[in-house]
A and B are shown apart, each in its own frame.
Chain A
Amino acid sequence: MHTDIETSPLRPVPVAAQAVGQRPVEPKIDLLPIGRRAYGLLITLLYIFLLLPILIIVFASFSPDQRNTYALSNASLHWYREFFASNNFTSAFQFSLWLALVAAVLATIIGFITAYGIVRFTGRGRNLAQSLVMLPMMVPHILISLSLLLLLTVLPLMELSALIIGHVLICLPFTIAGIIASLEGVDPDLEAAAWTLGAPRWRVLIEVTLPLIAPGVLSALIFAFIISFGDVYIALFLSGPGVTTLPVEIFSYIQWESSPVIAAITTLQIVLIVLFGLFVERLVGLRTAMRL
């Protein structure tokens, strides 16, 4: 459509030709000499690359024998039975669920208070405050974990509380960012109106603000749960015998052998995570939840 303009660059641009308010037509993706087909192929291959290592686990979990095979014809649930029979793995699974729930609730509460403070009550210092609360993301998680382990030698702190604190720390940047994103969508005039009508601040918060951002808060909670549940770096140093999280239990197991029982456990984990992820997507959309 631009050909006549290209051949005579002096002709005025036909503004009226484009309907007002309509998104302009974007050029086709012909970046490189290889063209659209090659680009499409590259994208397809990248998706296969991203998903294959995860899908292969699901197949391997139905393997009929010790090897990680993927024969669909003689699929068996043997390794799932093995998992439920193994005390080590089931207790680690339960402990991980419990820990992730506790850490996610704490991180969401602190994250909400912090996000509300940043969005509504910081003036010029807002950008600084917003980057400072992201601190746990900038520091390598292995260092957070080691420092907390070192702290245990100084403070009379329980190992379990150090583990919870570590998980809360790594979840906080995500809950704060998610809740800030939802708070920005709330018109501050609504709060001001309630406030002018005589409601005290805490009542404004509970009766006006919180209901408006409930989906964002819930998705922050789920997101924190997912992060805590999948963490291996914090728990690597802070979980002791008897209180081991699932990822650490799997890590120490597959250092010595690889058996389809791990595939069965991770498949259950994948199903859980995907369900949660779809739920977050329904609530607020993953993009909002992940905004950093």
Chain B
Amino acid sequence: MIRDPEARTGAFASILLSPITVLYLLFLLAPISYFLAVSFFKYSPAELFIPGFTTENYSRLLFDSYYRNVIYSTFRIAAVVTLISLVFAYALAYFLARMTSGWRSLLMFLIVAPLMTGIIVRTYGWIVLLGSDGLINRLMMLVGLVDSPAALLHREGTVIVALVHIMLPYMVFPIFSSLTSQDPHLVPAASTLGARPLRAFLEVTLPLSRSGIVMGSALVFTLTAGSVVTPQLLGGRDVTMMGQTIYNLVLSTFNWPLGAAVAALLVLTQFLVISLYFRKTRGAH
């Protein structure tokens, strides 16, 4: 008698998926919920926080102009970085999706390689490049653009350039996959029907790559909004984003409840952006 291999599917699934379920419940969901609950606790300099319920942390975020500015600049920087990365990444992804030669895997590797080196290495690269005796300053002095080294670090523009550099690969790959999963006959079909290349691109290729665009944008926006290291090292005191604020509140001021409130706001935004992504991509299929 041949038994059906799929017969006890449900039981096996729960056995195989139990380690990860326990891991996520115990070390991801429970601690994060507790941490978010702390955002409603009272701040106490001696004990970090006192369990209870207060909304004062949130009202401080909304009414204190310092925190309002931090939130505003975080979302502004995240939006600008997402937009610039989208344009550049589309150009790269389109190029990679259209090329057929053996160079493709090398050129793809050159996009992944920076991603693999880690955030700290890439941020350090910008410090070396833009420092007072960095390459950019030397070039500018050589051509006589400036007389003495210009202060390129500690500017919002620098933070944005470095963040675009860090985020670009995260945008290229989703767009690349949505471009390569398109039926390659569609564009020739459109041109057979009389569409010029630009029109075929705007009416066929671009709308069909929407899921990649939305996925990449959601990823880049949320990663940028949560970044700490890059704005801290390149922006210094002049550019403050939410991630840095959490870092400083928790490790320097020990104001856990306020830090948790900033983090809760960050997660809420993340959640909104991702649910937007799911709605948009479902519409695309």
Interface residues of A (CB under 8 A from B): 2, 5-6, 9, 13, 23-32, 39, 42-43, 46-47, 49-54, 56-57, 60, 67-70, 110, 113-114, 116-118, 120-123, 129, 132-133, 135-136, 138-144, 146-151, 153-154, 165, 168-169, 172, 191-192, 195-196, 201, 226, 229-233, 236-237, 247, 250-251, 254-255, 258, 262-263, 266, 269-270, 273-274, 276-278, 281, 285-287, 290, 292
User: Is B270 in contact with A140, judged by CB distance below 8 angstroms?
Assistant: yes
CB-defined contacts of A247 to chain B, threshold 8 Å: 118-120
Beyond known contacts A254-B233, A276-B116: 17 more, CB 8 A cutoff: A24-B184, A26-B188, A27-B187, A27-B200, A31-B197, A31-B201, A43-B95, A46-B92, A53-B126, A122-B17, A142-B243, A147-B32, A232-B229, A236-B247, A237-B251, A278-B109, A286-B112
A69 to B129: give the CA distance in the assembly, Å.
Answer: 10
User: Is B188 in contact with A27, judged by CB distance below 8 angstroms?
Assistant: yes
Instruction: Give the residue name and chain of the A residue nearest to B11 (CB).
Output: A121
User: Is A114 in contact with B247, judged by CB distance below 8 angstroms?
Assistant: no
User: Is A56 in contact with B129, judged by CB distance below 8 angstroms?
Assistant: yes
Closest 8 CB pairs of A and B: A230-B118, A117-B16, A53-B125, A140-B226, A147-B31, A121-B13, A24-B188, A247-B120
CB-defined contacts of B53 to chain A, threshold 8 Å: none
CB-defined contacts of B191 to chain A, threshold 8 Å: 2, 27
How many A-B residue pairs have C-beta atoms within 8 angstroms? Tell me.
264
Of A47, A60, A135, which contacts B128 at CB under 8 A?
A60
User: Is A56 in contact with B226, judged by CB distance below 8 angstroms?
Assistant: no
A118 to B243: give the CA distance in the assembly, Å.
Answer: 34
Interface residues of B (CB under 8 A from A): 2, 5, 9-10, 12-13, 15-17, 19-20, 23-24, 27-28, 30-32, 34-35, 38, 48, 88, 91-92, 94-95, 98, 105, 107-114, 116-122, 124-129, 131, 133-135, 162, 165, 168-169, 173, 184-185, 187-188, 191-194, 197-198, 200-201, 222, 225-226, 228-229, 232-233, 243, 246-247, 250-251, 256, 259-260, 263, 266-267, 270, 274
Q: 10 A–B contact pairs at CB < 8 A?
A: A27-B187, A28-B197, A53-B165, A116-B16, A147-B35, A151-B31, A154-B34, A274-B113, A286-B105, A287-B108
Beyond A143-B32, A230-B121, A277-B109, whether A39 also contacts B267 by CB under 8 A is no
CB-defined contacts of B185 to chain A, threshold 8 Å: 24
Looking at chain A's contact residues, is the secondary structure mostly helix, strand, loop, or mixed? helix
User: Is A114 in contact with B194, judged by CB distance below 8 angstroms?
Assistant: no
User: Is B112 in contact with A290, judged by CB distance below 8 angstroms?
Assistant: yes
